[in-house]
Structure 1
């Protein structure tokens, strides 16, 4: 190669180097670092070969410096205050982030029902459905030494039994056992959240009758269809710590089945408040309620021109309590209540002339709407004898409650960890009838008390009732698969300690004048499905012998 050709080669090499910023964007760091030195060497060689002058070389060196600075500024932009520097994230990591975010968003969308808009109307998203089904095998065992003269006074009132004795009075079965009676209970309801503070709810349930204390439906009956009843229907307003409910709703009071059966619902209005803290772990709560038990009929007495004014029966209740939650598993609760069963006591009628064809007396509406057994009773009607046929005068009677019922009710409950991390619950309930007075009972009944006498003709009753209860297991509410619990308790209920219409319908088959023990256990097969067994053994407190044992084995499902 001659000298002229060598000069052109050097010039082309220099041009390529000076065009380097466009290529340098894809160069590796090591290549970018060597580019400035190469340019300087080429310019010096061109000067030595006489291709360019020293002044031209200086100009080229300055141009190369400016272009290098500009390239560096483009590669690393100036970082100013407030700028955010974003590091490089590999594509695989970005894919993982996208997948996680997508899963979280879709889960939230399904939960809040906006993944598929317009699929359901807005009101449907504010409704919650719930229910439960129970299948129970129940056996009732009666002692052969029981009295056979225990009246069924609820049926006595239903048929206005004639005291002339032309027919046998209605009597309870007291000696013939009933084994393996299959029964079901099904309840289904909904709750609608109308706003943040307003809600409504209703529930329907099975039942062999309109008894307030049982939704059990006895199977059989020639495979006939079974009845469905309105069990609850209520509207609730819950501003702040208050909860105000009107309609037919669940029991708003802290109580036990010594006084109120677990199936009992309350008609009326209640106002409850809670979460009023008085210490780090404790809070007060309370409830007020007014519940109609029965109303005087608009046209009572139906055959009289002069109608009777309102003499309605009410349950008025108030409760205050405290709840100490020391931790998740350690809790102590106390509640004191006062219940006034207003006008529940019966009234003796004025002289009642029935032999002219009338069929009512002026205090018939004071008869209880429902009874189980145990309370002291008296004859309501003062029936006048027909002067023309005194012996043949019909004597259809009704009975009423002899005692007033003004109850103080104390409930205690303690939940605490026990051996091996298991849970123990101890509970107690004491009821005292401040309205009980034997003297007042006889005066109001005008001497017509008809039951709860001993062999010497003395009234055997009482004003108090109590119970104790203990439960043990890993979870007393059977919340998880494999949870179990065992429980036992004892009750003692004197005849007029409380109204016999509303307490547990299984213990002594309902009512008062009962004492005895119960024990049982339960096991959860899966979430919402558990089996339970109970044995209840009872006797009378006073009066004719009446011993009843009850065995219940059941399967429960709730949703």
Structure 2
């Protein structure tokens, strides 16, 4: 708040206050005159003249008040003289009055002052006071400690989490788990053994990582632009630009940590039951972290509706979202006069559901969604002569911008061999998703009470309606590179995958601890087959992210104070198909929100 106001504004405020003070004093003087008291003329005149000289009262207003004060003083003096006249004079006046019918005759030099009832004076004083206070409140100087109006339309919220995490790997795990994401982020991996004898980048699968300290901090500003328009901006920590995690690993030589734009959106509510949001915003769909991480935010636009049925016990809701996932480069290939056409990857999602308040102890929620991940599958390129200086291949854009692990992958480049030395032609490859993804997502929740405590049961089933092994192998032209059985074979008969996923979870106690003493315990189980969903968007903790994972998890939370709670969690997972990969994760964390 600016405590140093403009001089003209201060003069205006002082003028208003001076008028109000003078008006009140004049009213008080008038009241005392009416009661026969002698006016404090010199004091009144000096006060008004002093206000004029100080500049607090403009000259015209001051002279008017001065004239009024002098007039009332003269009237008071005249009334005093009449009251002090001899009794005989009073008697003579009475006889004369009787002779003239009771009307007193005017005497030369008398000043006639109209009588103003006390109720009228009070009304004038109250009106002046109300006008002054209204102006003072409008300018924000009547109550200097009061918050300005615009700040009442802005809210600050955020949360902080400190976590200790340990990861335990089985000694029987396969030690050949390729880090496909690292290959796609570089210039490709040369698959020709004649020109490259090194191994591809590999994931750690056997060495435990214990007592890693991690932190998460998020700070958001929400603004009510009007009754129907709102805006939000949030920043968050993060090791990198991963869409599924805002965790920051501590250490690193005590270097400063990165902060990212986590959200930035505008929303418009044209009617009470419809809300439109655009920008980068939180998950608009009802889902679990089996499909979408709780840290995942969405780019694009979303329309959400919510409408209570006439009985008020059932509320229908739904969401329609258009989410851009990736755009092809505007300048690809870089070293070619002919640029590739625009290619976009999109997620189109539609969901409908209902909340049903069965009674005071039981609530049900169900939601059915369809998600079409458009244009995300890999494509084999036309022959590209990288040996002759070609700047990439025509389908390099189909590799995912972000991936975790688990999806079936295929080679993207059809690399032409150098006819002068075909055996020694480098063949740097990228990989893309072999499957299409059109998901049917069913979510169910039941909130009830057992022995006086809350019990929440969640269930989630996901089916990739586009999963088709034959189509995947045809699209890849035989170039499938993973998700084979543990025997080491890479033929079609060795391939193992699937398109289903499900989750069950039970939470006993308070699902979201808020008040001191709130607590909960939970247990759950997940199974996610390799191509049930894109592996880039789900929880990054369960099996360290991605698909081709199954296992259980246990946890509990306790609120040590208002909006502050501790949590412990144990997660035990292994692969669904393929070489062994068992990972256990232990987490302890302290959370606070504001």
TM value normalised by structure 1? 0.78
Residues 453 and 508 in structure 2, CA contact (< 8 A), matched pair in contact too: yes
Residues 333 and 391 in structure 2, CA contact (< 8 A), matched pair in contact too: no
In structure 2, relative to structure 1, the CA distance for the partners of 1:431 and 1:115 (3 Å cut) is farther
Does residue 161 (structure 1) correspond to residue 189 (structure 2)? The answer is yes
Residues 331 and 414 in structure 1, CA contact (< 8 A), matched pair in contact too: yes
Deviation at 1:328, TM superposition (A): 5.1
Secondary structure at the residue paired with 1:275? Answer: strand
> Matched residues in 1 for 2:141 and 2:584: separation?
56
Aligned to 2:19: none
- Alignment counterpart, residue 459 of structure 1, candidates 495, 503, 517: 495
Aligned to 1:66: none
Aligned to 2:201: 170
Aligned to 1:295: 327
Gaps of 5+ in 2: 1-139
In structure 2, relative to structure 1, the CA distance for the partners of 1:151 and 1:117 (3 Å cut) is same
Aligned to 2:427: 395
> Matched residues in 1 for 2:162 and 2:467: separation?
40
Does residue 281 (structure 1) correspond to residue 313 (structure 2)? The answer is yes
Aligned to 1:472: 508
Aligned to 1:409: 441
> Matched residues in 1 for 2:585 and 2:141: separation?
52
Deviation at 1:507, TM superposition (A): 0.3
> Matched residues in 2 for 1:495 and 1:319: separation?
24
Residues 148 and 175 in structure 1, CA contact (< 8 A), matched pair in contact too: yes
Q: How does 1:130-529 map to 2 (within 5 A)?
A: 130-159=157-186, 160-164=188-192, 165-239=196-270, 240-277=272-309, 279-327=311-359, 329-419=361-451, 421-454=452-485, 455=487, 456=489, 457=491, 458-473=494-509, 475-529=510-564
Secondary structure at the residue paired with 1:355? Answer: helix
Deviation at 1:505, TM superposition (A): 0.4
> Matched residues in 2 for 1:341 and 1:288: separation?
14
Residues 483 and 578 in structure 2, CA contact (< 8 A), matched pair in contact too: yes
Deviation at 1:119, TM superposition (A): 5.4
RMSD: 1.6
Deviation at 1:453, TM superposition (A): 1.1
Residues 553 and 570 in structure 2, CA contact (< 8 A), matched pair in contact too: yes
> Matched residues in 1 for 2:158 and 2:312: separation?
36
Deviation at 1:260, TM superposition (A): 0.3
Residues 412 and 428 in structure 1, CA contact (< 8 A), matched pair in contact too: yes
Deviates further, 120-129 or 375-384: 120-129
Aligned length: 446
Q: How does 1:5-84 map to 2 (within 5 A)?
A: none
Secondary structure at the residue paired with 1:465? Answer: strand
> Matched residues in 1 for 2:217 and 2:144: separation?
34
Secondary structure at the residue paired with 1:157? Answer: helix
In structure 2, relative to structure 1, the CA distance for the partners of 1:545 and 1:524 (3 Å cut) is same
> Matched residues in 1 for 2:197 and 2:146: separation?
69
Residues 336 and 391 in structure 2, CA contact (< 8 A), matched pair in contact too: no
> Matched residues in 2 for 1:115 and 1:268: separation?
45
Aligned to 2:574: 539
1:452-480 residue CA offsets vs partner (Å, 9 max, x unmatched): 1112532100010000000001x221121
Deviation at 1:536, TM superposition (A): 0.2
> Matched residues in 1 for 2:267 and 2:236: separation?
21
1:195-215 residue CA offsets vs partner (Å, 9 max, x unmatched): 001000010000001000000
Residues 278 and 284 in structure 1, CA contact (< 8 A), matched pair in contact too: no
